[in-house]
Structure formats: C-alpha cells, structure tokens
C-alpha cells in the first residue's frame, strides 16, 4: 500500500473541519494528516488538536499569521514524510475509498506524476447546477481544484508548490495555474468513473464565481482576466524550466547502500 500525506489548509473552518477530518481518517492510505492552521480566529486549532489526541497520524501546524491557502499548502508540503501528497480544503470531504484508488492508479502508472478526482458539487444554487453546460464546467473545475489532486511529492517540490503571486491572493486562481502547468508538462488525468470528493457550497466560494463567470452570469474585469492569465503562464514557464533542469542534471553512477563515512581531520596539529 502506498502511503500519502494529506494536507488540509484551514482558516476559520470550525464549522466544517471535523467533517473533513472524519472523511480523511477512515482512508488507510492517509498515513500523515497535516492540518495547517492559517491564523484562524475561531476554534479550528482546538478541533485539530482534539482529533490529533485521538488519531496519531494527525498533526497541527500553525502559520504565524494568515497568508492564504497556497502558502499554507506549501508549508504543509515541507513537513510531508510520504511520497504522495493529497490536498483537501477544510470545508470539503473525501468519499470512501478515494485515496486507495488514487494511490493504486499512481502505483500502476509510474510514468504519471499526478491524478485528479471527479468532484461532487454539493448544495450549489439551482441556477448553476441546472445550467445546460454545468456538467462540462464541473469537469473543468474538477481538473483544477486542490481537493481533487493527488501528486508525487517530487514533482510538487520541483514545481515549487502553488504560486504565491499577489494576484492570486486577491482573486484566487493559484490552483488553476498549478493545473495548467501539470496539463502542459505532464498531462492532468482525472478518474471520472465516479465522484470521489465532495465540495460543499458556502456563500462567496471561489467555485461559484468560476461557474457564474463561465456561464455568462457574472462579468470578469479585464484586469482580473489579464493579470491571472499572465501570472498563470509565468508559473507554467518557470515549472517547465525547473523540470527540464532536474531532468538534465547528472546523477552519480550508483546509489550507495550506506552513506559514506569519513574520519574527521585531526584538528590538533
């Protein structure tokens, strides 16, 4: 069984964090579960600590101040101990068996660097879910949102994690830039045979804005479109160059079974 580190960025999610954690701890592949509290002002850290006392695989990491979900995910990834990373937001939940299927897919396909889940969009307004193009836009969003992503830690590290540009902090979209890089460099496969992660609606959720803009219900300013597009492609180019640099690096002829030991020089002379 391949093991994963699950990273949960959390900001003022006291009302939903327990549901998210309940959906993760039942997944045997989740050997390490990192709740990264991003400066919450509510009881979120207390809930995480309560769960950590009951489940040893759960750890609470505290950000010194609120820095946004992308920064929290990247901080969590720095503490990961397992070769696969999975991300889920503190108001979403995994459906049973999700991580087992993702781990099995990546084990069976060693050339694939990541895999996505199909997302169930729960509780979204009827004018969105009844739109004639809802299924198409939902599929596109499933290819983008962090809660659908399981990725090899080595590739995530090579990409440099999620981008931290100010434009993404203002408008969101760092997940779109990351998925754009995956798509253009490695592909971005999705397990679409069934829903494996559930996104719950709440007012002002970024997914609603995406649906409304895509469906022509909401206008997006030229500044938003142009600035996020520019930052996204800048991230894609940087990720591509990083991957190319790593692939071109020279390796030592063999990997030693034990680290070489050297006798320290005599400092008494």
Quick: pLDDT tens for 66-79: 999 999 999 999 99
Tell which residue, 104, 195, 111, 97, has the closest CA to residue 145.
Answer: 195
pLDDT at 267 over 80: no
pLDDT at 243 over 50: yes
pLDDT at 247 over 90: yes
What pLDDT does residue 252 have?
85
Looking only at the bridges linking them, the beta strands covering 4-10 and 30-37 are parallel
pLDDT at 82 over 60: yes
Burial (CB < 10 A; 0-12, 13-18, 19+), residue 146, is buried
Q: How many CA atoms lie within 13 A of 188 on its CB side?
A: 22
Question: Alpha helix locations (H) across the chain?
Answer: 17-25, 44-54, 69-78, 98-108, 126-129, 134-142, 153-159, 166-171, 174-185, 206-214, 222-248
What pLDDT does residue 1 have?
79
Tell which residue, 28, 23, 34, has the closest CA to residue 1.
Answer: 28
Average pLDDT, the chain: 94
Render pLDDT for 12-53 as a digit per residue (tens, 0 to 9). 999 999 999 999 999 999 999 999 999 999 999 999 999 999
What pTM value is reported for the model? 0.93
Q: How confident is the model at residue 147 (pLDDT cuts 50, 70, 90)?
A: very high
Chain position carrying tokens 């969590």? 76
pLDDT at 260 over 60: no
Tell which residue, 2, 168, 146, has the closest CA to residue 77.
Answer: 146
Give yes or no for a contact between 164 and 90, defined as CB atoms under 8 angstroms apart: no
What pLDDT does residue 204 have?
86
What pLDDT does residue 256 have?
67
Residue-range domains of the chain with CATH: 4-159+186-200 (3.90.550.10)
pLDDT at 117 over 50: yes
Q: How confident is the model at residue 268 (pLDDT cuts 50, 70, 90)?
A: very low
Render pLDDT for 119-145 as a digit per residue (tens, 0 to 9). 999 999 999 999 999 999 999 999 999
Is pLDDT larger for residue 100 or for residue 265? 100
What pLDDT does residue 269 have?
38
Render pLDDT for 171-227 as a digit per residue (tens, 0 to 9). 889 999 999 999 999 999 999 999 999 999 999 899 999 999 999 999 999 988 999
């Amino acid at each position: 069984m391949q093991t994963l580190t699950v990273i949960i960025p959390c900001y003022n999610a006291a009302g939903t964090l327990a549901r998210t954690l309940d959906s993760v701890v039942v997944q045997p592949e989740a050997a390490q579960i990192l709740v990264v509290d991003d400066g919450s002002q509510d009881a979120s850290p207390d809930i995480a600590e309560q769960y950590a006392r009951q489940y040893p695989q759960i750890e609470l990491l505290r950000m010194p101040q609120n820095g946004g979900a992308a920064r929290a995910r990247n901080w969590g990834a720095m503490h990961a101990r397992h070769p696969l990373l999975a991300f889920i937001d503190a108001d979403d939940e995994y459906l049973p068996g999700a991580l087992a299927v993702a781990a099995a897919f990546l084990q069976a396909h060693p050339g694939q660097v990541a895999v996505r889940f199909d997302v169930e969009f729960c509780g979204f307004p009827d004018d969105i879910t009844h739109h004639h193009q809802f299924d198409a836009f939902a599929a596109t969003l499933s290819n983008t949102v962090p809660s659908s992503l399981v990725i090899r830690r080595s590739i995530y590290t090579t990409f440099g994690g999620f981008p931290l540009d100010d434009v993404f902090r203002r408008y969101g979209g760092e997940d779109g830039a990351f998925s754009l890089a995956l798509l253009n460099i490695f592909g971005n496969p999705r397990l679409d045979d069934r829903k494996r992660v559930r996104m719950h609606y709440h007012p002002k959720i970024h997914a609603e804005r995406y649906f409304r803009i895509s469906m022509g219900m909401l206008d997006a300013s030229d500044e938003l479109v142009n600035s996020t597009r520019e930052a996204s492609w800048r991230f894609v180019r940087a990720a591509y160059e990083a991957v190319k640099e790593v692939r071109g690096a020279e390796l030592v002829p063999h990997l030693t079974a034990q680290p070489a030991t050297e006798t320290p020089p005599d400092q008494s002379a």
